[in-house]
Amino acid sequence: MTTGIVYHPAYLSHEQHPAHPERKERLSYTLDQLEEEGIWDDPRIIRITPAPANEADISAVHSEEYITFLRTMSRTGGYIDFDTNIPPGLYDSARLAAGGAIAAADAVSNGSVENAFALVRPPGHHARSGMGAGFCYLNNMAIMVRRIQKNGYKKVMILDWDAHHGDGTQDIFYNDASVFFSSIHQSPFYPGSGYISETGYGEGEGYTVNMPVPAGTTDVSYRYLFTKVIEPLAHEFRPDFIAVSAGQDNHFTDPLTGLALTARGYAEMMQRAVRLSGDICEGRLVAVLEGGYSVEAGLPYTNLGVIAAMAGMDLTGIREPGAYETLLSGAVDPSAHLQVIETTRDLSAILAQYWRCFRDLA
């Protein structure tokens, strides 16, 4: 198995504020960890250097008005919302992040690697066609999906496992039956959407699936959702490509969220996504980094676990950050899994209208 890792040193240059949670240390610590583990020397890993996304790729997702707004504001600086400033030069940073997602899509499309992970920032999944939000400016995932389709792979399944609902991505593909959007996220939580009743619109009805989970949810529930929802749906939808919005902010050490996943849990989740892509679409899988704010304790370990799983490495060495292990029990809510089972039952009843796999279960 060969795995492409897309990275550019300029991914460290974007900065809203040195104390902002979406800061350059998110990636610099991950890079240190990859270096320490000798990932770059592994023959299964191919390094990919991206170029900025071009206007055609960006316009395939974003409105001309918004692109002009971003470009103009990034000359002088401006802001979108209270936690999403536009620092000078932002448009170039955002174009390079989107270009990273494109580079991953192209490398897998043309077979130069089997799967690829774009380690980019700023993230993208809260950005809609006409406006950014929540640390996001251009929707890297959506731009990547449109590029995949341009490369000839028409049906794409998005799995967004960031702790926050991927509202921007959902909105962009809400009435599009060629793109299946699925999301597991903490709820109730920012951005306030992602209920099981949100299933798509018009031609896209049935092609959006939301799996909200409560604070304190652990690896067990994510495994359960893969078995009960994601895998059956993927087998029935039969995508040509699987695209993961890899938000690593579900880790039990993340300071912004309340979930309780482990680095090993992340690695196993990606291992299942990789297997699924092998069963359904000849292993074509791309991942793009979204959130993840535990810069020292969570992010380097989850990113390493995800990369190891993508490259088919032995996962037994994937461990939790030792000094933080005692935090795990405090993050777990033992009743969360019962809630997840209940929500899954209600969700399955809704999805049975659209998908045979849920009717068979009834």
Stretch that binds Zn ion, among 17-25, 47-55, 284-292, 328-336 (CB under 5 A): 284-292
Residue owning tokens 């950005």: 127
The answer to whether 164 contacts Zn ion (rule: CB under 5 A) is yes
Q: How far is the CB of 125 from Zn ion (least distance, A)?
A: 8
Q: How far is the CB of 164 from Zn ion (least distance, A)?
A: 4
Residue type (1 letter), 354: Y
Cα–Cα distance for residue pair 205/227, rounded to 1 Å: 23
Q: How far is the CB of 294 from Zn ion (least distance, A)?
A: 12
Options 62, 126, 164, 185, the catalytic residue? 126
Q: How far is the CB of 76 from Zn ion (least distance, A)?
A: 28
DSSP 16-27: S-TTSSS-THHH
* Two tokens, residue 156: 């794409």
Q: Interface mask (CB under 5 A) for Zn ion, residues 249-278, using x and -?
A: x-----------------------------
CB closer to Zn ion out of 251 and 284: 251
Residue whose C-alpha is closest to residue 210's, from 219, 198, 218: 198
Q: How far is the CB of 291 from Zn ion (least distance, A)?
A: 3
Stretch that binds Zn ion, among 12-20, 35-43, 147-155, 164-172 (CB under 5 A): 164-172
Q: Interface mask (CB under 5 A) for Zn ion, residues 288-317, using x and -?
A: ---x--------------------------
Q: CA-CA distances (angstroms) from residue 108 to 48, 111, 178, 348?
A: 11, 5, 19, 32
The answer to whether 198 contacts Zn ion (rule: CB under 5 A) is no
Stretch that binds Zn ion, among 228-236, 286-294, 298-306, 310-318 (CB under 5 A): 286-294
Residue owning tokens 């799996």: 211
Q: How far is the CB of 168 from Zn ion (least distance, A)?
A: 12
Cα–Cα distance for residue pair 292/163, rounded to 1 Å: 9
CB closer to Zn ion out of 4 and 291: 291
User: Burial letters for 167-178: b for 16+ Cβ neighbours within 10 Å, e otherwise?
Assistant: bbbbbbbbebeb
CB closer to Zn ion out of 239 and 291: 291
DSSP 221-284: HHHHHIIIIIHHHHHHH--SEEEEEE--TTBTT-SS---BB-HHHHHHHHHHHHHHHHHHSTT-
State yes or no: is 62 an active-site residue: no
DSSP 82-113: TTEEE-TTHHHHHHHHHHHHHHHHHHHHTTSS
Tell me the number of residues near Zn ion by CB under 5 A: 6
Residue owning tokens 């990932």: 39
Q: CA-CA distances (angstroms) from residue 113 to 45, 106, 160?
A: 9, 9, 22
The answer to whether 247 contacts Zn ion (rule: CB under 5 A) is yes
Q: Interface mask (CB under 5 A) for Zn ion, residues 134-163, using x and -?
A: ----------------------------xx
Q: Hey, which residues are catalytic here?
A: 126
For Zn ion, the binding residues (CB under 5 A) are 162-164, 247, 249, 291
